[in-house]
Amino acid sequence: MKNFISCIIILACVATQAQDHGLGKDIAAVESKVIEWRRDIHQYPELSNREFKTAEKIAAHLKSLGIEVQTGVAHTGVVGLLKGNRPGKVVALRADIDALPVTERNDLPFKSTVTSEYLDEEVGVMHACGHDTHIAILMGVAEVLSKNKDKIRGTVKFIFQPAEEGAPPGEEGGAELMVKEGVLENPKVDVIYGLHIGSYLPVGQIAYKPGGALAAAQRFVVDIKGKQTHGSAPWGGVDPILVAAKIVDGFQSIIRREMELTKEAAVITVGKISGGVRNNIIPESAELIGTIRTLDYDMQKQVNERMKEMASTIAKAYRAEATVEIAKGVPITYNDPSLTEASLPSLKEVAGEGNVHLIKAITGAEDFSFYQEKIPGFFFILGGKDPNAGPDDHFPHHTPDFKIDDSGLLLGVRAMTEIALDYLDRSK
């Protein structure tokens, strides 16, 4: 009986350990290509649902590796299917491919100078969230695994997803549309993995959180109706811009005074205010556009209800009218606890025990959550900050100065490669 119990313990330990697949040389050999791909994609970014050239580059690379390729998924998405030499389950690896309407301010030799149109305005376009690194990392993983099909016990599905930042108004897109179009079927995917580069996390480090890891995100629009009048005689009209300012302040009081922030974080941000055409006219209307971030669905419901009530009540107090429209948005990014725990040995093997950190939830959002609504998924953060930089020496995501250190990309290739192979080995 004692020997039997010992065998069970040994088998359990082996099952949770990462395996050495002997891919070190192949992974190291792809680093220069990954950096080259990343810089090329960074220099020529494309907005959500418009990633035509980016998709062509991805598809051409996958086809050159002998990988079965499907294009045009959710408009511009690319899906690659690589079957191993041994039967087994199906694991999906995902990278997002769209850029943002941000004008780059860096002095990089591969700086983006691309411009495009967004919400009827001419804007600069920049990979200001690191999706260029995600693409290059997954292209590298595809190259490594395509050369080692004998190590794959099952099938790997590569998902290059457009419009993670949100489809343009009036369009569908992103992970939600990919799921709708069957990306998790034919063959049916068992689990999915994804990563996100972090400009605030030093190169060589990985961060994770089981359960709710990233916030749900909703887009809201507030339409305010006033009464137009001459700017010199405000008493002759109803000023919607003044009302807009009061509503913005009121929304912040919902967070400051009504949310139990010791339970979970919550954020309301107004990112765009528009109204008026010239300096001496009080306009007839104004508009607020923004985002809501929550990590608890009961809190989300409360925030939604209070925003509608508060906007209407504030507007009425100033003799105006206001309506609030809140989109369904993106769900909470929920890391399956069992899959997360089982995946940690793989991350610790490639990064080192001391470089894998448990963190608190992040109020950033990810539409990777749409996959996790259907199947178990694990999403983690990869360090992209210069390791020699100071603790505050980095620029946030979605800003003109956002920058990633290329030396962190190889760890991303190692992590995604090994985490996939280890899952397939565990599931034999």
Structure confidence at residue 289 (pLDDT): 97
Structure confidence at residue 391 (pLDDT): 79
Q: Which residues of 61-98 are buried (b: 16+ CB within 10 A; e: fewer)?
A: bbeebebebebebbbbbbbbbbbbeeebbbbbbbbbbb
Predicted confidence band at 13 (pLDDT cuts at 50, 70, 90)? very low
pTM: 0.91
What does the pLDDT average to over 327-335?
A: 97
Give percent of the chain with pLDDT exceeding 90.
92
- Lowest mean pLDDT segment, chosen from 19-23, 133-137, 260-264, 304-308: 19-23
| Residue pLDDT, tens place only, 142-178 | 999 999 999 999 999 999 999 999 999 899 999 999 9
Predicted confidence band at 18 (pLDDT cuts at 50, 70, 90)? confident
Q: Which of 62, 168, 66, 174 is nearest to 116 (CA)?
A: 168
Structure confidence at residue 257 (pLDDT): 97
Structure confidence at residue 17 (pLDDT): 64
Domain range annotation of the chain? 20-209+359-426, 217-326
Give percent of the chain with pLDDT exceeding 70.
96
Predicted confidence band at 262 (pLDDT cuts at 50, 70, 90)? very high
Structure confidence at residue 2 (pLDDT): 43
Q: Is the pLDDT of residue 356 over 90?
A: yes
What is the CATH topology of the domain spanning 217-326? Answer: Alpha-Beta Plaits (3.30.70)
| Residue pLDDT, tens place only, 239-251 | 999 999 999 999 9
Q: What is the CATH architecture assignment of 20-209+359-426? A: 3-Layer(aba) Sandwich (3.40)
Cα dihedral 212/267/218/294 (nearest 10): 30
Tell which wins on pLDDT, 250 or 119: 250
Mean pLDDT for all residues in the chain: 95
Predicted confidence band at 421 (pLDDT cuts at 50, 70, 90)? very high
Predicted confidence band at 33 (pLDDT cuts at 50, 70, 90)? very high
Domain 217-326 in the same topology as domain 20-209+359-426: no
| Residue pLDDT, tens place only, 59-100 | 999 999 999 999 999 999 999 999 999 999 999 999 999 999
Predicted confidence band at 16 (pLDDT cuts at 50, 70, 90)? low
Predicted confidence band at 5 (pLDDT cuts at 50, 70, 90)? very low
3-state SS, the chain, equals: CHHHHHHHHHHHHHHCCCCCCCCHHHHHHCHHHHHHHHHHHHHCCCCCCCCHHHHHHHHHHHHHCCCEEEEEECCCEEEEEEECCEEEEEEEEEEECCCECCCCCCCCCCCCCCEEEECCEEEECECCCCHHHHHHHHHHHHHHHHCCHHHCEEEEEEEEECCCCCCCCCCCCHHHHHHHCCCCCCCCCCEEEEEEEEEEEECCCEEECCEEEEEEEEEEEEEEECECEECCCHHHCECHHHHHHHHHHHHHHHHHHHCCCCCCCEEEEEEEEECCCCCCEECCEEEEEEEEEECCHHHHHHHHHHHHHHHHHHHHHCCCEEEEEECCCECCEEECHHHHHHHHHHHHHHHCHHHEEECCCEEEECCCHHHHCCCCEEEEEEEEECCCCCCCCCCCCCCCCCCCCHHHHHHHHHHHHHHHHHHHHHCC
